[in-house]
Amino acid sequence: MELLNDINLYLPATVIAIAGLVVMMLSAFRASHSTVLWTSVSFTAVALARAVADLGTETQLVFHDMAAVGGMAAFGTVIILLGTIFTLLLSKDYFEKVGEYHSEVYAIILFATVGMIVLATATNLVTVFLGLETMSIALYVLAGVNKTDKRSIEAALKYFLLGAFSTGFFLYGIALLYGAAGSTSLEAIGAVTDKGLFYWAGAALLLTGFFFKISAVPFHMWTPDVYQGSPTPITGYMATAAKTAGFFSLIFILSRALGTSVDQWSEVIKVIAVLTMVFGNIIALVQTNVKRMLAYSSIAHAGYVLVGLAAGTEAGYTAVQFYLFAYTIMNIGAFGVIAYYERYKGLDLTELDNFAGLGFKQPMMAVMLSIFLFSLVGIPPLLGFAGKYLVFAAAVQANLISLAVIGVLTSAAAAYYYLRVMVYMYMRDAHTEFELPAVGLTYSLVIGFLAVLTVALGVMPWTVADLLAAF
Amino acid sequence: MLSLTWFLALSAILFAIGTIGVLTRKNAIVIFMSVELMLNAVNLTLVAFSSFMGDIHGQILVFFSLCVAAAEAAVGLAIVIAIFRNNLTVDITKIKLLRW
């Protein structure tokens, strides 16, 4: 009975896991692509509704303290499921018109989602490891799903080799922490008083594994290649939902397992945060491919999130959660518009140079892309501004003023490469005359909805922020 | 009976060999083999800790990590086959479409 009760409490992940199996069987019996898509979407919507209902509840542990539900864990689940549902809806048109369309894509996306939810809610290193690997292995497949496209499969190989390499460090960290604490539970590791070599080496290796997955400098080498080569909606999914899961797990580990040594770790995180913000933004300045530019921008955004983590306070962790929510909404939108442009085959519309005059081809899509990019810059009153404001305010409260100043300066520099896209779209003349294909109803509704969220929640950020402060 | 240190030292050496292999080799399959060596070195650490502390949880984690390694091998080798079909090589220095 306890098991059934736990399954009920952990319903979002359970529903998605069942959905993955159902959808896989549907593809095996050659159900039509739209049946598979809409089955996935409805299961995800059910899981999302349940996760939203969990939002206000107290945090409690399920499955013999293996995972958490309610509170912060519920919010992480909501962000991941939002990212998933938009990715599913955007994938159909992309794979139909740009890449190879196998309906198994949906099953793999759902399996990756299960991994992400487990990772974001795990309170034991065993579940952290399983969640991380379920997510990563599914993402290796998704990166290379256009298997005759040389760039896609190259992205998959690079992601796989470096991901598996980082898994080695991650697992070694788990093993050493297990040796130090005699248990893999985060609480037991947090209770270690005799901190010897095993403890410090284990925690360092574990954090290295995490820095790989959230693509913090200097462990970011794989990110630009993988994000550029992967199918665009999948890139959006990796940049948002996967990163959200990694950061939520990092918050759990820093606050529960490494709480007693958080002073030491926040020194490390400060250095990594500065490196990530500076390198991510500077290299993004010189990119000529929009997808690759967004990949470097995603590295830079990981830097801003790390600023909130370095604060190590309750306000810092809340700000991080808000930031990840904001980032998920605006970034999936931005990648969604790029995915739409790729439908035009005559030109490579991921190259910035070809964006010349694009603003007048499909005016609505260009306006949406502008909204998302303005939000990524952090211009008020959009969602990105509220996220940045909360993170930097938390840093200032925690007396990390220099870190906040570096963050603000680098995000001012970042305005250059985001606005350059708009300069090309609106202020340059097109090289050749061409017509962009029609957008499609579902696609424009999804992108429009994301843009509305970006604006509306940017104007009223307290609707989400109050919810977070209540945990 | 041998002390715990010997087991940990052996697995640390194996882990280091695996890491060096990943960093120096060029063939994707050999790199993957080196990664497997790293994972198995970690398994050895886990089993050693588990047995010396008389706690079964470490050995259960080893089962999970073996399953994960198997899943990773299935996906990884499939990716390597796809790379070979596209490029007729698995030398990672020759697979370089994506770079700035």
Domain presence at residue B40: yes
Domain ranges, residue B32: 4-94
Q: How confident is the model at residue B66 (pLDDT cuts 50, 70, 90)?
A: very high
Asked whether the beta carbons of residue A157 and residue B45 sit closer than 8 angstroms, the reply is no
Nearest CB partner across the interface for A178, out of B35, B46, B64: B46
Domain count of the fold of chain B: 1
Rounded-to-integer distance, Cα A81 and Cα A240, Å: 11
Asked whether the beta carbons of residue B49 and residue A178 sit closer than 8 angstroms, the reply is yes
Residues of A in contact with B72 (CB under 8 A): 133, 137, 160, 164, 167
- Residue A57 has a pLDDT of 87
Domain presence at residue B59: yes
Residues of B in contact with A225 (CB under 8 A): 98-99
> Residues of A numbered 164-183 whose beta carbons fall under 8 angstroms of chain B's beta carbons: which are they?
164-165, 167-168, 171-172, 174-176, 178-179, 182-183
Determine the residue among A102, A140, A153 to mutate to test chain B binding: the one whose Cβ has the most chain B Cβ atoms within 10 Å.
Answer: A153
Residue A16 tokens, joined:
């998605």
Residue A399 tokens, joined:
């007396």
pLDDT lower than 50: segments of chain A: none
Nearest CB partner across the interface for A150, out of B61, B76, B86: B86
Asked whether the beta carbons of residue A144 and residue B82 sit closer than 8 angstroms, the reply is yes
- Put simply, whether B72 touches A (Cβ < 8 Å) is yes
Domain presence at residue B34: yes
> What CATH code is carried by the domain that includes residue B45?
1.10.287.3510
Asked whether the beta carbons of residue A133 and residue B71 sit closer than 8 angstroms, the reply is yes
Domain presence at residue B76: yes
Q: Measuring CA to CA, which residue among A382, A430, A434, A377 is closest to residue A408?
A: A377
Q: What is the pTM of this model?
A: 0.95
- Residue A1 has a pLDDT of 79
- Residue A471 has a pLDDT of 67
- Residue A96 has a pLDDT of 87
Asked whether the beta carbons of residue A176 and residue B95 sit closer than 8 angstroms, the reply is no
- Residue B100 has a pLDDT of 56
pLDDT tens by residue, A350-377: 898 888 888 888 899 999 999 999 999 9
Domain presence at residue B71: yes
Residue ranges covered by each domain of chain A: 261-471
Domain presence at residue B18: yes
The three state secondary structure string of chain B is CCCHHHHHHHHHHHHHHHHHHHHHCCEHHHHHHHHHHHHHHHHHHHHHHHHHHCCCHHHHHHHHHHHHHHHHHHHHHHHHHHHHHHHCCCEHHHCCCCCC
Rounded-to-integer distance, Cα A239 and Cα A241, Å: 7
> Residues of B numbered 9-28 whose beta carbons fall under 8 angstroms of chain A's beta carbons: which are they?
15, 18-19, 22, 28
**Phi and psi at residue B8, to the nearest 5°:** -65, -40
Asked whether the beta carbons of residue B98 and residue A153 sit closer than 8 angstroms, the reply is no
- Residue A101 has a pLDDT of 86
The answer to whether A272 and A204 have CB atoms below 8 angstroms apart is: no
Which residue type, as a one-letter code, is found at position A74?
A: A
Q: Which residues pair with A122 in a beta bridge?
A: A67
Domain presence at residue B22: yes
Rounded-to-integer distance, Cα B23 and Cα B19, Å: 6
